[in-house]
Structure 1
Amino acid sequence: MSEGTAVESRVDCHVKVLDESVVERAIAAGLDAIVYAPHFTRLPEIRRRANHFSSDDLLVVPAREVFTGSWRDRKHVLAIGLEEPVPDFIPLEAAMAEFERQGAAVLAPHPEFATVSLTEADLRQYRDAIDAVEIFNPKHLPSHNRRARELADLFELPPFTSSYAHLPSTVGVAYTLFETEIDSEADLASALADGVSRRVIHHTGRQRWRTTASELAHLCYENTWEKIDRLFLSGTEPTHPDHIAYNGRFDDVSVY
């Protein structure tokens, strides 16, 4: 690298899917890293898959989007840099306290979107604990993205974006360009916690709307038949506080 050349890293800060096709799409899109945070998957398994698909061409960062609260009143919070697993279905205050204990970077994905997000009141309460707010999400309509940007500005919190890809075809349509080199999970957590300068970049035009339509259709499926299956047909989720993997640490705060 020549002297004076700016160091930048392109990071898709939140994807739900990970396989060879996802990696290929990310590399083709010029990304340096993606953050892998699938639903209802324990941190050790996320970390194992992230390590498996990481290479010199693409860093895959393990993370957890924790479902705090109950199904009726759940709020999603994204944590990067966790050392120990944190379950779903615990109160927001319990999750935030655990993130702070572990020194993780804490992100607010899709604020005030549907019924699964941090609200303005939540952002105000945890302003000092939140490291960034997502101001563009492909699932959002323009009004949602405007509101997200308003919230980030209101609380003077740094922005980020992601593809929030639940479908492989969505990977790379949005990313955060950090003005620093990111070669590890720790690098990304530090960049977020330290408020490193960054830009939010995303596709526009027909491709953006095709992505929105596809992801919203998937969201409808995820919150109907798949949700019914999880609630009534499946056993205990791997990320349920009662799961043996948590050794009873969260029994006193489990909402179920």
Structure 2
Amino acid sequence: METPNWQTEIPTRVTSEGFNVDLHVKVLDDRVVQRAKDRGLDALVYAPHFTRLPEIRERAERFSDDELTVFPARELFTESWQRRRHVLGVGLSEPIPDFLTLEATMAELRRQDAAVLVPHPGFLSVSLGRAEIEAYDDAIDAIEVYNPKHLPHHNRRAREWARETGQGTFTSSYAHLRGTVGEAWVSFDRSFETAADLAAALRGGEPRRIFHRNGVRHGVRRALEFAHLGYENSWEKFDRVMLQGTAPTHPDHVAYDGAFDDVKVY
């Protein structure tokens, strides 16, 4: 993989050549699509919380067109809410619920030949740490080395972990707010038509360059995203969305037909 190339200007559009992908966004609507196009992106990876894969696929297809491809993905919540570890799966062929053991989630991702990405490593209590990254070295395909929600030391540590473990790297806007879309992106040398194609490139360590914006506006976007963490990680939200077995990505949901009963933590 090429050495990451960090964007130091404040461009109004993506200026890098290649196929430019914001590898993780939580929001998707007409305004998001237009913002992505205005910023020169070619693709988004859409992975909303607590949403089943069929619904994500349908929405991704609906908002894709000749100018912008939206790839479906899942950021999986593993373990318990208090000890949750997030894993981003790209190129899934079947739905996987949240709140399985980390071991079971990794095994299912491997079974499906999905690309396994580590978003916001070592960040607060919601991420894979160095120990988990080393333990699942053979299953992981890339570590996120820049995330707008991170503080500077988080990004430095992520880059150190990537160097020391030899893992591939990526970045994303991790946009929970529309205005953050396109604040960070990865540029590949070729285009991809499907999520499976993108997953194969990530698994294979295909060359890529990593960019993010800088300056005052970027700082404001980062601050707004960080402030959004308060609700995003509240117990109130989790209790409302997930503790009932009817929630879409709860392992007890009827759609999973009990397939994960022996590896669930709730």
TM-score by length of 1: 0.94
Q: Which amino acid aligns with 1:126?
A: Y
Q: Secondary structure at the match of 1:95?
A: helix
- Structure 1 residues 30-179: aligned runs within 5 Å: 30-179=40-189
Partner SS, residue 77 of structure 1: strand
1:12-23 aligned within 5 A: 12-23=22-33
Aligned-residue sequence identity (percent) comes to 58
Q: Residue 106 of structure 1 aligns to a residue in which SS?
A: strand
Moved more, 235-244 or 86-95: 235-244
Alignment partner of 1:25: what SS?
helix
Structure 1 residue 226: deviation in Å? 2.7
Report the Cα offset of residue 191 of structure 1. Answer: 1.1
1:204 matched to 2:240:
no
Could you list the runs of 4 or more consecutive aligned residues of structure 1 that deviate by over 4 angstroms after TM superposition?
none
Q: 2:261 maps to which residue?
A: 251
Unpaired segments of 5 or more residues in structure 1?
Answer: 1-5
Does structure 1 retain, via aligned residues, the 8 Å contact 2:245–2:251?
A: no
The residue type paired with residue 53 of structure 1 is F
1:218 matched to which residue of 2? Answer: 228
Alpha-carbon offset, residue 183 of structure 1: 2.4
Shift of 1:146: 0.4
Deviation string 1:169-227 (CA, Å, 9 cap, x unpaired) is 10000001112222221221111011011111001111221011100111112123433
Residue 227 (1) aligns with residue 238 (2):
yes
Please list the CA deviations of residues 114-135 of structure 1 after superposition, one character each: whole Å capped at 9, or x if unmatched.
1000010000011111111100
Moved more, 184-193 or 92-101: 184-193
Q: How far, CA to CA, are the matches of 2:176 and 2:105 in structure 1?
A: 24
Distance in 2 (alpha carbons) for counterparts of 1:144 and 1:228: 28
Question: Structure 1, residues 214-245: CA drift from partner, whole Å, max 9, x if none?
Answer: 0011111212343353367x663210101000
Which segments of 5 or more consecutive residues in structure 2 lack a partner in the other structure?
Answer: 1-15
What is the count of residue pairs matched by the alignment?
250
Root-mean-square deviation (CA, aligned residues, Å) is 1.4
For 1:7 and 1:128, the matched residues in 2 are separated by 31
